[in-house]
Amino acid sequence: MEWEAPAIVLDARPFGEGDAVVTLMTEAHGLHRGLVRGGNSRAGASTWQPGNLVLVRWVARLTDQLGNFTGELVHAGAAMAMDDALALAMLSSLCAVAEGALPEREPHARVFQLLLALVPRMPLGSVMLPDVVRWEAALLSDLGYGLDLSACAMTGEVANLAFVSPRTGRAVTAAVSAAWRHRLLRLPGFLTGTDGSDAADWRDGLRLTGHFLERDAFGHQNRDLPQARRMLYDRVAALAGGSENSDTEQQDA
């Protein structure tokens, strides 16, 4: 059994002396793991860094085996993001969330295509944070945990949406939620088509998707939200001057 495809490296872990078990994502084969001979050696490790785009070939005797990867570097996403702490934090978070949330060998073409478009743009820095949040929302939707931001859950109004219920994932307007808005998740305007955003919006967007990632995508697997994702939130919260220190500090409604 074998296939060849463009892939995004999500994780690489040492195995034995100089080898690595690599997790990557392709459009047609989804999340896939394989052994890379020499993948943790001085010569090979740079190819298999999380965030790199590679042209990979997988070979195994049987479809259910781990199999072996060989590949060549197409775009060094990890190296491109290395000089900027926020860019690297975003890239690390994207890879960790994809690696932890997606089921193995199940295609998620939209998630892959969106991630493929994001990775080369990480060096642009903070302006990419809304797209990171949108990608997380798309991943949630593909996994069956999509947010409903189309209209107010109570009035059906499509304008002035301002909050999201952490229980149902449905949006509500500020006018109808005045009495219990402290229990809701703030909905940043960039998720509803409003132009412009700032650090507080980025923080609130990460808090919003982080709540549902932790509760649903990871919680249903009895797994914690990846440390890289928590660190990204903390970094953005510091930019916003927020008092919250973790995606997990949510209240149910």
pLDDT of residue 178: 75
Question: Residues 153-167: pLDDT tens digits?
Answer: 999 999 999 999 999
Closest-CA residue to 190 (of 124, 143, 126, 251): 126
**CA 52 centroid distance within chain:** 15
pLDDT of residue 18: 95
Which whole-number Å values give the CA distances from 42 to 11, 71, 158, in the listed order?
A: 17, 16, 55
pLDDT of residue 151: 96
Closest-CA residue to 207 (of 190, 223, 185, 177): 185
One-letter-per-residue 3-state SS of the chain: CEEEEEEEEEEEEEECCCEEEEEEEECCCEEEEEEECCCCCCCCHHHHCCCCEEEEEEECCCCCCCCEEEEEEEECHHHHHCCCHHHHHHHHHHHHHHHHHCCECCCCHHHHHHHHHHHHHHHHHHHHHHHHHHHHHHHHHHCCCCCECCCCCCCCCCCCEEEECCCCCEEEECCCCCCCHHHCEECCHHHCCCCCCCHHHHHHHHHHHHHHHHHHHHHHHCCCCCHHHHHHHHHHHHHHCCCCCCCCCCCCC
Question: Residues 103-151: pLDDT tens digits?
Answer: 999 999 999 999 999 999 999 999 999 999 999 999 999 999 999 999 9
Query: Which domains are assigned to the chain?
Result: 2-75 (2.40.50.140), 81-240 (1.20.1440.120)
**Average pLDDT by stretches of 10, the chain with 253 residues:** 97 96 98 97 94 98 94 96 96 98 97 98 96 98 97 93 96 85 92 84 97 97 97 96 48 39
CA dist 146 and 130 (Å) reads 17
pLDDT of residue 245: 42
